[in-house]
Structure 1
Amino acid sequence: MRLPLAFALVALSALPAAAAADADGARWWSHVETLAGPQFEGRLTGTPGYDRAAAYAAGQFKAYGLKPAGTDGFLQPMRFTVQRVLGEGSSAALVVEGQEQPLRIGPDLLLGARIPQPKAIEAPLVFIGYGLHLPEAGYDDFAGQDLKGKIAVYVNGGPGDISAALKAHSRGSETWRAARAAGAVGLIALPTPKSMDVPWTRQMQSAGQPGMYPADEDLRELPGEAFSASFNPAEAEKLFARSGHRFADVLALADAAKPIEGFPLNLALKAQVASEVGQVASANVVAKLPGGDPKLKAEHVVVTAHLDHLGVNTSGQGAPYYAGALDNGAGVASVLEIAREMAAAKARPKRSVLFVLVTGEEKGLLGSKYFAGKPSVPAASVVANLNMDMALPLWKFDSVLIYGIDESTLGDTAKAAAGAANLEVVADPYPDRNSFIRSDQYSFIRAGVPALSFKFGFKEGTDRAAIEKAWRAERYHALADDLDQPVEKAEAVKFDAFLAQLITDVANEPATPRWKDESFFKRFAK
């Protein structure tokens, strides 16, 4: 059958565009293939494999004509203390009226490694609800609690009338600050099955991963030692057996996003923690595209993705290393491709753009915290951050999930760019995952810089949500995040194009991005 002439012309004109898209997708994927390859051995912070990956990225930036903008060429070196908590030699038990009830390291609880652990501890346990310290929002689980010399136990989540961003912000270092101020000597986290990214059995498999924190004590968010652990929710009734309460009831309140009262657990925890401690060096990779405006070029829009992953597989089973193809080889590939396109463009953006590939994200956003606190350019010149972490190009890119979109004028610029690209902006479908604080844009927010992070959009209850949930359960931080998985390369190219345009829009915006007056995070502004 012969096609009408007009239709045939349209079809023919689409061929070069389709071929170009395929070529762009292949080039983007080639970076992922390289970064997930055996020569980089999983890109663990502080290893030769990571250093080779950093050298590869720096070489790409140099080939594109970008300027080195680290403190040592393209690199910004830093040092970390490494803590590996050992299963052998560690033990834990609940103490009831002087009698010890042994706990299993692994099946019952996992010991933390991101904060210096004490070698031994014995302290009463107190349940403190969600462990949120948000007096500004009229909610404080620490108020009225007697925690001096005790270990606080808290469940993940929070009341539904508190925003996802604010609940997430009250996690991590904020929880520790509140606990330390109340005199607590440790924290035990109780994840809820509803909010768990990774099944407990897989968490047990990765428990041998080393933790890291800044070698310089002045840069640590929590000075000194503190006991940290997480408890398997399937075994959590053991903690509540003498409290007059059931964990099942607590879990029902958490799943319904209802307030939860704290109470004594009427037992203590005794633990011995065996660990190995050492030091490593690692570096962020920093490249600069100078701006074209005589005045605005002194300001910097920072584009980030984390280069590190989990390193070699020491289990003796399966692949020899964690490839980290989508977490976050894909994000690094996007930064590299956006940098290449912007460097090749005839017109330069008005502000300068820094492309920063950070280290230590998997160990607690360490590289981005270092850069945000001690940038390689004047700190006051950093006006915005746009971050790419595990965007998951697993379906059509017709919607985008943007963390931080309601907090600053940067979000308004992003909404306009999404509208121009015919993209629907969707809300965070799983607020109790604390995603807002789990990617590198949060380091910039804490430093007072408006920041956003991006993923392919999806809504709860859809096929896309099922795909995303399955990916996290089966591939997130697993050996299966490799090159042998279905990836929509052409859709990744569309994602990169959207972000490239947004970066350009932010860099060309006459007004500097600013926090909205009603944003809680305005308090961090410089």
Structure 2
Amino acid sequence: MKLLTATLMLLSFCLTLYAQITIDNFLTDDVKRAMDYITEDYIRANVQFLAHDLLEGRGTGSRGELLAATYIATQFKLLGLEPGGDNGSYFQKVPLVGITTFPSEFMTVKGKGKTIKFKYYDEFIAVSGVKKDFVSIKDADIVFVGYGIVAPEQNWDDYKGVDVSGKILLMLNDDPPATPEEPNLFGGKARTYYGRWTYKYEIAAKKGALGAIIIHTTPSAGYGWNVVQSSWSGEEFELANDVEPKVQLKGWLTEEATKKLLALAGKNLDELVKSAQTRNFKPIELGLKLSLDMKVKVRNLVSQNVVGILRGGDEKLKDEYIVLTSHHDHLGIGKPVNGDSIYNGALDNASGVSALLTLAKAFSELKVKPRRSIIFVALTAEEAGLLGSKFFAQNPPAPPIKIVANINIDGINIWGKTKDVVLIGMEKSTLGEIIDRIARKYQNRYAKPDQFPELGMFYRSDQFNFAKIGIPAIFFDNGVEYIGKPEDYGRKVVEEYIKKNYHQPSDEYNDTWVLDGAVEDTKLVFLCAYYLANADEKPEWKPDSEFRLIREKMMK
């Protein structure tokens, strides 16, 4: 009888808790106790292992990445999470095709009786977009297509019906800039998806182009030529089930090399850029012909997302989900820099996976499970073009309408506590408002939108693929107002990291990392995920979000 009475009392407590949960009252003693498991030591230990040289940079499909995935799956099992992968395992297999390109040393461009040779790696980068052993481009016409954008909602079309099939398209990076007359053109200062390299190659393929070459400048890319070199000189990947059209050549050209190429055509880069910044722009035949040979190694492989589930405690809501994500891959072994060839990816993104594991630990310690279920996913192949999240979104463990929200972690705060937290995509859904209210209530902090909108980070990390299928999603990033530091400290440390360490072997774990801010951020993610897993309130896309209609169609 005593046992029955106790059970009924616990059930009554849970029902009362669930019925009354609001942002003002959901921080119970159980939640506080679970949060105590979010510690610097737990975060630090996981980063140290995942970023160790033994894992060889966790390159997609590599031995090191499999070791990382196995470690994560083992941690999920130790924490009591249910397997959420294939056939009762923690692994969701992701079939991929790997393409390694070996371009000829020089790319040749001819025009007006002259010939210029551009040196691979130093002046141009080229990869094959097709699964062939050999790609040979001979005397292909080069056409300058401005930004290479077709955006009907912006009344913008850089192609103007010109047939560019079989040609090489030379295009500018980023979006066209806003003007005083149209301050919100292409998102204003923010980069849209039209400004991403992924879009540039996609639209070129749809137009039937033989290849596309993007002009690199540090301001337009948001990173230096060294990042292009490290990111595009190894094995590239695509999903094995990808049937979208592809260009044969995906290329990058330095700014100085571009100026030499255009001079051969009697053109000036600055003048072409200016002409491309208006709706009246039309493609310009440069009167140049390009030749390049590429040997290609193609292989089929299988990588893996690692999926663990904390099953919810409410019979009606346990089949709804909050998804927490972080990618476990990096660049693997690449060209040596200062004698180091292992691209460890400590901050990007061993640190994010460590936060994910820490969150899983805290949730596993709850005595009263959340009403909704929580899915923890360590994603593969983010660095290869968000492929792991794309596959997961194509093959979710539940219908997308049952997934309430996605919170993605890509890097943690290694520089100390902040007064704020930055949410990439804050303006797109009510998720940002929910997180801001929780931060203000429980941490005396506040949320800010993207502080580097020109980098287009929402379209460069895994939450994008959740948004594309209608799921409210947000990228949880570092704050920038560091306590006890100068006002510009936050911007400076990020810019310095991008310049020196981003996608470089120097992105290594260091004992000097200051992780008290990471602990506070991880606790905030925990609070937000816990609230979303229990509240009647669900996040929604804002009326002006490009993803709103996808969700609304799903709900009909």
TM-score by length of 1: 0.87
| Shift of residue 74, structure 1, vs aligned partner | 0.7
Which piece of structure 1 moves more, 494-503 or 186-195? 186-195
Question: 2: distance between equivalents of 1:370 and 1:474?
Answer: 32
Map 1:311-460 → 2, pairs under 5 A: 311-315=332-336, 318-420=339-441, 421-458=443-480
Task: Determine the C-alpha separation between the residues in 1 that align with 2:385 and 2:122.
Answer: 24
User: 1:148 is matched by which residue type in structure 2?
Assistant: S
Q: Which residue of 2 aligns with 1:462?
A: 488
* Structure 2: runs of 5+ lacking an equivalent: 1-31, 179-183
Name the CA distance, whole Å, in 1 between partners of 2:374 and 2:36: 25
Deviation at 1:76, TM superposition (A): 0.4
Cα RMSD for the two superposed structures? 2.8
Q: For residue 12 of structure 2, what is the aligned residue in structure 1?
A: none
Task: Choose 38-47 or 428-437, whichever is displaced more.
Answer: 428-437
Gap change, CA 1:223 and 1:281, over 3 Å in 2: same
1:138 aligns with 2:155: yes
Superposition map of 1:40-59 within 5 A: 40-59=55-74
Counterpart in the other structure of 1:297? 318
How many correspondences in the alignment?
A: 502
Partner residue of 2:504?
A: 478
Deviation at 1:322, TM superposition (A): 1.9
Structure 1 stretches of at least 4 aligned residues deviating more than 6 Å after TM superposition: 20-23, 257-260
Deviation, structure 1 residue 409: 2.4
Query: Could you say which residue in structure 2 is the equivalent of 1:287?
Result: 308
Asked if the contact 1:43/1:309 (under 8 Å) is kept, the reply is yes
Task: Kindly indicate whether residue 202 of structure 2 is the aligned counterpart of residue 186 of structure 1.
Answer: no
For the structure 1 residues 419 and 260, does the alpha-carbon distance in structure 2 shift closer, same or farther, using more than 3 Å as the test?
farther
- Measured in 2, the distance between the counterparts of 1:175 and 1:205 equals 20
* Offset at residue 25 of structure 1 (A): 0.5
1:413-437 CA deviation, whole Å, 9 max, x = no partner?
A: 2232233333333333333322221
Q: Report Cα offsets for 1:366-400 as digits up to 9, x if no partner.
A: 11100011113344422321100023432423222
Of the structure 1 ranges 31-40 and 407-416, higher mean CA displacement relative to structure 2 is found in 407-416
Equivalent of 2:46, from 24, 27, 31?
Answer: 31
The CA deviation at 1:316 is 8.4
Please say if residues 36 and 324 of structure 1, whose CA atoms lie closer than 8 Å, have aligned partners that are also in contact.
Answer: yes
Q: Which residue of 1 aligns with 2:9?
A: none
Q: What's the CA shift string for 1:473-523, capped at 9, x where partnerless?
A: 111111111123642211110010011111112222314433222212224
Pick from 214, 224, 240: which aligns with 1:215? 240
Note closer, same or farther for the CA distance 1:184–1:312 as it changes in structure 2 (3 Å cut). closer
CA separation in 2, counterparts of 1:486 and 1:67? 35
- Percent of aligned positions with the same letter in both sequences? 30
Stretches of structure 1 lacking an aligned partner (at least 5 in a row)? 1-16
Matched residue, 2:299: 278
Structure 2: distance between partners of 1:22 and 1:491: 15
SS of 2:58's equivalent?
A: coil
1:190 to 1:391, Cα distance in 2 relative to 1, 3 A: farther
Deviations 1:202-252 (A, max 9, x none): 543554311011123xx34x3355321011113221232255542234567
* Structure-1 separation of matches of 2:113 and 2:193: 37
SS of residue in 2 equivalent to 1:119: strand
Kept after mapping to 2: 8 A contact 1:81/1:214: yes
Residue of structure 2 aligned with 1:81, choices 97, 107, 112: 97
SS in 1 for 2:169: strand
SS at match of 2:205: helix
Is residue 2:535 matched to residue 1:509?
Answer: yes
- The one-letter code matched in structure 2 to 1:435 is M
2: CA distance, partners of 1:168 / 1:394: 30
Query: Whole-Å Cα distance in 1 between the matches of residues 97 and 294 of structure 2?
Result: 17
Q: Is contact 1:168–1:432 with CA below 8 Å preserved after alignment?
A: no
Q: 1:349 to 1:263 in 2, by over 3 A?
A: same
Task: Name the CA shift for 1:142/1:323 in 2 (closer, same or farther; >3 Å).
Answer: same
Q: For residues 114 and 273 of structure 2, what CA distance do their matches in structure 1 show? A: 28
Contact 1:94–1:269, Cα closer than 8 Å, also in 2: yes
Report if aligned partners of 2:275, 2:281 keep a CA contact under 8 Å in 1.
no
Q: List per-residue Cα deviations over 1:90-145 (Å, max 9, x = no partner).
A: 54111214653222112221013565477012422222222222111222323344
Question: How many angstroms apart in 2 are the aligned matches of 1:505 and 1:252?
Answer: 49
2:295 partner SS = strand
Tell me: CA distance 1:320–1:100, structure 2 relative to 1, closer, same or farther (3 Å): closer
Instruction: Give the match for residue 20 of structure 2.
Output: none
